[in-house]
A and B are shown apart, each in its own frame.
Chain A
Amino acid sequence: MTKQISIRRGYDIKLVGSATSTLTDLPLSNIIAIRPPDFPLFFPKLLVETGDEVQAGSPLFFDRNHPNLRIPSPVSGEVTEIVRGEKRRIMEVRILPDQKETRYLTFLEKPTTNLDREKILDILIESGCWSYFRQRPFSIIANTADQPKAIFVSCFDSSPLAPDLAFVCSQEPESFKAGLEILRALCQNVHLGVRADDTSDVWTQLPEVHIHKISGPHPAGNVGIQIHHIDPIRKDDIVWYIHPQDLLIIGRLFREGRYRADRIVALTGSCVKQPQYYRLQTGQPLQDILNDQLTGEKCRIIQGNVLSGKKAVAEDFLSFNTNQLTVIPEGDEPEFLGWLLPGFKKLSLSRTFFSWLAKNRTYDLDTNLHGEERAFVLTGQYEKVLPMNIMPVVLLKAILAKDIEQMEQLGIYEVAEEDFALCEFICTSKIEVQRIISEGLELARTET
């Protein structure tokens, strides 16, 4: 069951520093930290204290509002420290991992994917893997009580310097298949979005799922765009989605009966000496991976891609959903008459810089804002990079006006911040589009 979808609007930002297909295994270091603030809308309550022994899969904390949501330890070892921030907010749970052998909690005596829905849900909740499932509307962690109309998996990432998910999944094709079988048991309708020109074997001989061959520029790889084109969200609909790499972890859970949360992360960006892939543990210090790899003094480290990733520092730890680390130069130098110069090295979707003449060049961009924030002036810009039947500026204005009824009518349920990242990138008025969308989602979620 393969369908073709061609997406026209959008833009591929070509940057310097994409990862080569080499994979290095990183050994465990002597600290692992899980950070509750990484989980959106999470009110953590601790289940462990300093000095407790934990196994891989033991829950560390859960969400007060949703006791079903437990966050497990990725390793076995001793809880060494609970780092707290302002108002005693829990910032980190630090663990000293066992160096010799990892002890795992067993969630399934006989590993199998042939289970009924209830049993699968129980195991997912118990193992803490449920937090990998997300839902639209609102782009939040899914609710186990819901019956979604479909589950979506986007099997390619079209954002700048993104990891090649075919390469990542081909490391463990069996786990990927097992994961899909679990999704099938949760919901009959499973949709896979695969890049049209991707011929790798991983996407063949899969359980009965709908495969959609998608072509076009970024954000074609965003799951929200794919949902919009495959089976759009109507009022009261709920769909779930999950990242392929998280699906691997779920596949392992049912194939091996244990929680194994190591991830493959692409280290990319122009400030990296040798951009490549690493396999490491969730919660591992970023230092381990960045060690000796950085060039340049002032760098911006990003967990994720340059469009929707989170700003980080080298002392941070690998977040539970990070698949890519990007390091680019900070651009905090004022530029003399920069708005007048021809700009051969600057990237702009408008053709106001001469760089538009060179179609295929890759850019070494920094984090400079290139201007100051202004009111909306130019129109018709966002539409060029948002391949959805949504009027972006009208929606943003409805959000700013806190008009929930109009937000609903204009499609707030279909969107997430990341879908508007390119709009924010090209915005001449330097408006923080993703922040506004995030506020709109929050408003719609709490008021309805």
Chain B
Amino acid sequence: MKWIRRTVDSVKPNFGKGGRFEKFHYLFDAFETFLFVPGTTTSHGVHIRDAMDLKRTMMTVIIALVPTLLFGMWNVGFQHYRAYGMEVSLLDNFLFGFWKVLPIIIVSYAAGLGVEFVFAVLRKHPVSEGYLVTGLLIPLIVPVTIPLWMVALGAIFCTLLGKEIFGGTGMNFMNPALLARAFLFFAFPAYMSGEIWTDLSQEPGRAVVDAYSGATNLAIFDENFLEMDSARDMFLGTIQGSIGETSTLACLIGALILIVTGVGSWRIVLTVFAGGYLMGLFMNVLAPADVPLHAMHTPAYYHLIMGGFAFGAVYMATDPVTATHTQTGKYIYGLLIGAFTVVLRVFNPAYPEGMMLSILFMNVLAPLIDHLVIQQHIKKRMSRA
């Protein structure tokens, strides 16, 4: 470790004030603080500090994403070989997916961090850690067949217009990763919907089996929800969908990590699921009895394991910057996300992924919810006086 420190120290003056590369100070700073937690000590106020910082926070989210990432990689291979009617080992499934997903991750990080670095140099502010998570979230919520240039475009778009123009991590009001997906979804619908969920690259001497259908459950359920995959498959995630979103189980493991470490808000995770379930039940009650296959008849718990519901609830809705900031507000925010998602899915088949849209919608409403909660708080405080 010593020699790393020595190397860093020897090049450091070049990036300091008056150094040759003074312009790139914050870029250097980003790499230095990545390698070393700085030796800065407390100067005002408290003399000791909690060991947790934003890097650690983001790292915890990444760890929580690992189950969905690993499962997603495996599932990419599994869906591919299933389409060709082949049975291969767990490792082969995984490796197929690994080599498909890895480039998407690399492009996502490279493009997004590139924008962050350019802004750090131009705007003279430190590189924030927020993109560490966004960069991994984007690959997990796109189909594996996505062209790499689209990944780059989405990453650049969300970092630029979703975050940096507002002042960087902590100042943005919409979840950057979801913004990237929404942008790609509306700009390039041909690549983001339809039968694009399984990688169908050629297998020598094989043809896609007749039974293969590229439609996801979200597309099927509007026609006839009885033809969807089994609840067990949907829960485990052996279904088609975006890379990381299919497995509810993997998302729940991630949720456990986030909640135990205190990084994710249990209030939000719980209420999103509750909101979705309650709205599902409500739909069942209102469903027209004479149309037995109407989407409103879908069992309520199906909504929770379908599509990106669990992924959105655990990793997207809990983004502390874009969620409501007040504790009471989090309950309202979560409930509404869950409820809106089900409403969108049932009544608006043009946008099968209701989760993405309702989280973005609630991101916009979050400040309003906070405002109302704060006004209520003030009213209560005043009535005491």
Measured CB to CB, the residues of A under 8 A from B are 13, 160, 232, 234-235, 300, 302, 306-309, 311, 326, 328, 330-340, 343, 346-353, 365-372, 374-380, 383, 389, 391, 393-394, 406, 409-411, 417, 421, 424-430, 432-435
**Residue pair B49, A369 in contact (C-beta under 8 Å):** yes
Q: A338-B36, A350-B262, A428-B53 are in contact. Are A409 and B48 (CB under 8 A)?
A: no
**Residue pair A334, B39 in contact (C-beta under 8 Å):** yes
Tell me the complex Cα distance, A98–B106, Å: 76
**Residue pair A368, B50 in contact (C-beta under 8 Å):** no
Q: Could you say which of A307, A417, A425, A430 contacts B53, with CB atoms under 8 Å apart?
A: A430
Kindly identify, within residues 158 to 204 of chain B, every residue whose CB is under 8 Å from any CB belonging to chain A.
167-171
Interfacial chain B residues near A427, Cβ < 8 Å? 49-50
Tell me the complex Cα distance, A435–B327, Å: 24
In the complex, which of the residues A330, A331, A332 has the most CB atoms of chain B within 10 Å of its own CB atom?
A: A331
**Residue pair A334, B47 in contact (C-beta under 8 Å):** no
Q: A350-B261, A394-B326 are in contact. Are A429 and B46 (CB under 8 A)?
A: no
**Residue pair B60, A352 in contact (C-beta under 8 Å):** yes
27 residue pairs A–B, Cβ–Cβ below 8 Å: A306-B48, A326-B47, A328-B47, A331-B41, A347-B51, A350-B262, A353-B52, A353-B56, A366-B41, A366-B48, A367-B47, A368-B49, A370-B37, A374-B53, A374-B169, A376-B170, A377-B320, A380-B265, A391-B374, A409-B381, A421-B45, A425-B50, A426-B50, A428-B56, A429-B54, A432-B44, A432-B45
Q: Whose C-beta in chain B lies nearest to the C-beta of A345?
A: B51
Interfacial chain B residues near A351, Cβ < 8 Å? 260-262
**Residue pair B39, A333 in contact (C-beta under 8 Å):** yes
Interfacial chain A residues near B267, Cβ < 8 Å? 380
Smallest CB-CB A-B distances: 5 pairs: A371-B53, A375-B170, A338-B37, A346-B51, A334-B36
Tell me the complex Cα distance, A423–B129, Å: 21
Measured CB to CB, the residues of B under 8 A from A are 1, 4-5, 33, 35-57, 59-60, 126, 128-130, 167-171, 260-263, 265, 267, 320-321, 323, 325-327, 330, 374, 377-378, 380-382, 384-385
Interfacial chain A residues near B321, Cβ < 8 Å? 377
> B114: shortest Cβ distance to chain A, in Å?
21
Tell me the complex Cα distance, A94–B238, Å: 80
**Residue pair B126, A410 in contact (C-beta under 8 Å):** no
Q: Whose C-beta in chain B lies nearest to the C-beta of A309?
A: B47
> B237: shortest Cβ distance to chain A, in Å?
26
Q: A334-B5, A377-B57, A429-B54 are in contact. Are A13 and B36 (CB under 8 A)?
A: no
Q: A330-B41, A334-B37, A368-B41 are in contact. List 14 more A-B contacts (CB 8 A).
A: A234-B384, A306-B46, A336-B36, A339-B56, A348-B52, A370-B50, A370-B52, A372-B33, A372-B53, A374-B54, A375-B168, A380-B330, A389-B381, A434-B46
How many contacts A-B (CB < 8 Å)?
206
Interfacial chain B residues near A330, Cβ < 8 Å? 41
> B141: shortest Cβ distance to chain A, in Å?
21
Interfacial chain B residues near A328, Cβ < 8 Å? 47-48
Q: Could you say which of A235, A308, A389 contacts B46, with CB atoms under 8 Å apart?
A: A308
**Residue pair A335, B52 in contact (C-beta under 8 Å):** no
Tell me the complex Cα distance, A429–B53, Å: 6
Q: Could you say which of B128, B129, B323, B374 contacts A394, with CB atoms under 8 Å apart?
A: B374
Q: Whose C-beta in chain A lies nearest to the C-beta of B267?
A: A380
> B5: shortest Cβ distance to chain A, in Å?
7
Interfacial chain B residues near A160, Cβ < 8 Å? 48
Tell me the complex Cα distance, A167–B378, Å: 41
Tell me the complex Cα distance, A339–B132, Å: 13
Interfacial chain B residues near A383, Cβ < 8 Å? 327
Interfacial chain B residues near A343, Cβ < 8 Å? 51
> B177: shortest Cβ distance to chain A, in Å?
15
Tell me the complex Cα distance, A353–B49, Å: 14
Q: Whose C-beta in chain B lies nearest to the C-beta of A236?
A: B385
In the complex, which of the residues B45, B260, B378, B384 has the most CB atoms of chain A within 10 Å of its own CB atom?
A: B45
Interfacial chain B residues near A367, Cβ < 8 Å? 41-42, 47-48
Interfacial chain B residues near A380, Cβ < 8 Å? 265, 267, 320, 327, 330
Interfacial chain A residues near B129, Cβ < 8 Å? 374
Interfacial chain A residues near B42, Cβ < 8 Å? 367-369
Tell me the complex Cα distance, A339–B232, Å: 38
In the complex, which of the residues A308, A347, A380 has the most CB atoms of chain B within 10 Å of its own CB atom?
A: A380
Tell me the complex Cα distance, A333–B169, Å: 27
Tell me the complex Cα distance, A218–B260, Å: 23
Tell me the complex Cα distance, A385–B376, Å: 22
Tell me the complex Cα distance, A374–B38, Å: 14
Interfacial chain A residues near B48, Cβ < 8 Å? 13, 160, 306-307, 328, 347, 365-367, 425
In the complex, which of the residues A326, A370, A389, A421 has the most CB atoms of chain B within 10 Å of its own CB atom?
A: A370
Q: Could you say which of A340, A406, A417, A433 contacts B59, with CB atoms under 8 Å apart?
A: A340
Tell me the complex Cα distance, A90–B289, Å: 87
Interfacial chain A residues near B53, Cβ < 8 Å? 339, 370-372, 374, 428, 430
Interfacial chain B residues near A391, Cβ < 8 Å? 326, 374, 377
In the complex, which of the residues B41, B43, B168, B263 has the most CB atoms of chain A within 10 Å of its own CB atom?
A: B41
Q: Could you say which of B41, B45, B52, B57 contacts A424, with CB atoms under 8 Å apart?
A: B45
Q: Could you say which of B50, B59, B265 contacts A348, with CB atoms under 8 Å apart?
A: B50
> B26: shortest Cβ distance to chain A, in Å?
11
Interfacial chain A residues near B57, Cβ < 8 Å? 350, 352, 377-378, 428
Tell me the complex Cα distance, A343–B261, Å: 14
Tell me the complex Cα distance, A406–B382, Å: 12
Interfacial chain A residues near B55, Cβ < 8 Å? 339, 371
Interfacial chain A residues near B33, Cβ < 8 Å? 372
Interfacial chain B residues near A346, Cβ < 8 Å? 51
**Residue pair B50, A428 in contact (C-beta under 8 Å):** yes
Q: A409-B382, A434-B45 are in contact. Are A352 and B262 (CB under 8 A)?
A: yes
Interfacial chain A residues near B374, Cβ < 8 Å? 391, 394
**Residue pair A370, B169 in contact (C-beta under 8 Å):** no
**Residue pair A349, B50 in contact (C-beta under 8 Å):** yes
Interfacial chain B residues near A13, Cβ < 8 Å? 48
Tell me the complex Cα distance, A337–B8, Å: 13
Interfacial chain B residues near A307, Cβ < 8 Å? 46-48
Q: Whose C-beta in chain A lies nearest to the C-beta of B321?
A: A377
Interfacial chain B residues near A348, Cβ < 8 Å? 50-52
**Residue pair B385, A377 in contact (C-beta under 8 Å):** no
Q: Could you say which of A332, A337, A352, A429 contacts B36, with CB atoms under 8 Å apart?
A: A337
In the complex, which of the residues A232, A307, A394, A433 has the most CB atoms of chain B within 10 Å of its own CB atom?
A: A394
> A398: shortest Cβ distance to chain B, in Å?
10
